[in-house]
Amino acid sequence: MRTTDLIVAGIFGPAAIAALGLANLYARIALFTGIGIGTGALSLGSQDTGSGATANRDEAITQALILGFLAGIPLAVFAVLLPRPALSIFGASEEVIALGAPYLAIVLGTAPARHVTLIGERSLQGTGDTKTPMYIRGGSNVVNILGTVSLGLGLGPVPRLEVVGVALSTAGANVLAALAVIGVLATSRTDVDLVRPRDLVIMKQIVEIGTPRTVQGLSRTAASFPLSAILVGFGVEVYAAYQVGRRVSQQLTGPVARSLESVSSIQIGQALGAEKLEEMRFNTAALASLGLLLTVVLSAGMLLWSESLARVFGDDQATLAAAAVFIQVFAVEAALRTLSRVYAGALQGGSDTIKPFLAELFGGTGLLLAVTYVGGVLLGYGVVAAYVGIILSGVIRLLLVFVWYRQTGWVEAAIDGMEARGSIGDN
C-alpha cells in the first residue's frame, strides 16, 4: 500500500516523494503510539490465553482500545491545525511543503481510527487469531490502493487529485479498517468479548508495557527528523532515494521481520502463560532460523536487481543512481533487522519492552544519526556515512537484544506480572 503511494507520487516528481516522506514522519507518531498500546494488549492477551484467564484477556483488550482512541484525538487536532509549520522545520522547499501539508492533515487526522485498527489487530493476534487481522488489513489496503491509483491519477470519471487523492485514500482506509475491527470484536466472529473496564492493575500493566514500545517508535521517528534534514541537505534527490531504498526493503523483507516479531511475541507469551519455558526457547530459535533463511533469499534479489527496483519509483536519473545504492545497503542490513525483531518480539511477549527500546535508542536510530552526522557533515563524507550508519546500527541493535534475551530476568518479571493480575497462581 505504501509502495503504491510512492510509485504514484513518483509520477509527480521527487518533490512529491519527499513530501510524502516528511509528512509520514508525523503520521508515524500515530503508528507507533498504536503499536505501543497494541503491544501491551498482545502481551497480556497472549499470556492470559496461554493460562486460560479469558476474563482478564477481554478486559485488557477493551481497555487498550479505549486508551488508543483517546490518545489519537490530540494527534488529529495537531495535524489539522498545524500541518505547514510542522513541515517547515525540515528546511524543505515551498513546493514540498505545499504538497505535504494537506497530506499530513488528512492522514494524521484519522489517528484515532488508526489506533483502534492497530490495537485491535494486535489484540486478536495475541489470542492466536492472525487470520482475521489479515482479512481486515488486506481488505482495507485493497481499498487504499485502488483509491490511490484512481484519485491520484484521475482514472476514468474520478478527478485527478494527485497527492491529496493519495491522502484521501489512506484516510478512508484507516476509518474502514477501524470500523471492521470494532465490528469483529462486537460480534461472535471471535471469542473475545468487549467488557466494561474495571481492573486498574490491568490498565497499569498495559501502560507499563506499552509506554517503552511507544517511546521506542517515537524515538526512531524523532531521530528521523534530523536525519531527514541531513539527507535533504545532501539534495532532495538523495532524500527521495533514501525513501525509495527504505520502501523497497520494507516491501520485500519487512513483512518477514514484522510477522516473525508478532509470532515471536504470541508464541512466547502463550508459552509463558502455560509455563512451558523449554518450548519458549525452542520456538524462538526456530523463528530466528526461518527468518534468516527467508531474508537472505530476498536480500539477494535486492542486491541483484537494485537498479530495476529503483526504476519502479520514477525515472529521475540522479534519484535512480542513489536509490540503487540505498537498496543494496538495506539489503545487507535486512537480515540483521529480521533477527533483532525476532528476539525483540520474544522479550515483548514476556512484557519486557524496555530492553528493545534501549537497543533501538542507542544501537539503532541513535547510532545511525550519529554516524550520518559526524561522518557525513562534520567529516565531509556525505551520503556514504549514511550507508555505513544503516549497517552498523543493525549490527549493534541485534547484539543488544540477543544478549538480553539470553538472560532470565525478563521471564521472571513476566511470571510476576501474571501473578499480580491473577492470571496464574503464585506457585
Residue 91 scores a pLDDT above 90: no
CA–CA distances in Å: residue 245 to residues 17, 108, 298, 309: 12, 24, 14, 9
* pLDDT (0 to 100) of residue 401: 95
**In this predicted structure, what is the pLDDT of residue 408?**
86
Average pLDDT of the chain is 89
Coil, helix or strand for 206? helix
Q: What percent of the chain has pLDDT over 70?
A: 99
Contact 32, 219 (CB under 8 A): no
426 has pLDDT over 60: no
In whole angstroms, give the CA distance from residue 93 to residue 324: 25
pLDDT above 60: residue 5: yes
pLDDT, position 15: 84
Please tell me which residue, 363 or 75, carries the higher pLDDT value: 75
Q: Give, in order, the Cα–Cα distances in Å from 214 to each of 86, 310, 340.
A: 20, 32, 18
Per-residue model confidence as pLDDT tens digits over 207-242: 999 999 888 888 877 777 788 888 888 888 888 888
Tell me the pLDDT tens digit for each residue of 354-370.
999 999 888 888 899 89
Residue 186 lies inside a defined structural domain of this protein: yes
Q: Sign of the CA dihedral 214, 219, 220, 221?
A: positive
Query: Which residue bears the cell 519455558?
Result: 277
pLDDT tens figures, 133-186: 999 999 999 999 999 899 988 887 888 888 899 999 999 999 999 999 999 998
Query: How far is CA 176 from its chain centroid?
Result: 19
Q: What one-character DSSP code corresponds to residue 373?
A: I
Query: Which domain does 177 fall in, by range?
Result: 2-420
Say if residue 20's pLDDT is above 80: yes
Note the pLDDT tens digit of each residue in 285-342.
999 999 999 999 999 999 999 988 988 877 777 788 888 999 999 999 999 999 999 9
Residue 425: predicted pLDDT: 60
Amino acid identity, position 295: T
Complete DSSP assignment for 336-371: HHHHHHHHHHHHHHTT--HHHHHIIIIIIIHHHHHH
Q: What are 115's three cell numbers?
A: 489506533
Confidence check: pLDDT of 119 > 90: yes
The per-residue b/e assignment along 226-239, b for 16 or more CB within 10 angstroms, e otherwise, is: ebbbbbbebbbbbb
Nearest partner of 76 among 25, 39, 38, 110, judged by Cα:
110
| DSSP, residue by residue, 267-332 | HHHHHHHTT-HHHHHHHHHHHHHHHHHHHHHHHHHHHHTHHHHHHTT---HHHHHHHHHHHHHHHH
46 in a structural domain: yes
Query: What is the full DSSP assignment across 175-197?
Result: HHHHHHHHHHHTTTTSS------
Share of the chain above pLDDT 90, in %: 50
The Cβ of residue 284 has, within 10 Å, a number of other Cβ atoms equal to 21
The angle that helices 383-406 and 317-349 make with each other, rounded to 10 degrees, is 10
Three cell numbers written together for 336: 540483521
pLDDT at 276: 85
Q: Measured over all CA atoms, what is the biggest interatomic distance in the chain, rounded to whole angstroms?
A: 67
d(C-alpha 271, C-alpha 342), whole Å: 15
Going along 74-211, which residue ranges are E strands? none
Task: Give the per-residue pLDDT at 67.
Answer: 94
Q: Which value, in Å, is the radius of gyration of the alpha carbons in the chain?
A: 21
* Nearest of 262, 337, 189 to residue 35 by alpha carbon: 262
* Coil, helix or strand at residue 12: coil
Helices (H) then strands (E): counts for the chain:
18, 0
Mean pLDDT of 44-70: 91
Q: What share of the chain is helix, strand, coil (3-state, %, to 5)?
A: 85, 0, 15
Among candidates 19, 40, 54, 235, which has minimal Cα distance to 123?
40
Phi, psi of 130 (to 5 degrees): -100, -10
Cα separation, 357 vs 116, in Å, equals: 23
CA distance 330 to 258: 16
CB 238 within 8 A of CB 227: no
The phi, psi pair for 317, rounded to 5°, reads -65, -40
Residue 210's alpha-carbon distances to 68, 205, 245, in angstroms, are 11, 8, 30
Q: How many domains does the chain have?
A: 1
Residue 292 lies in a domain: yes
425 within some domain: no
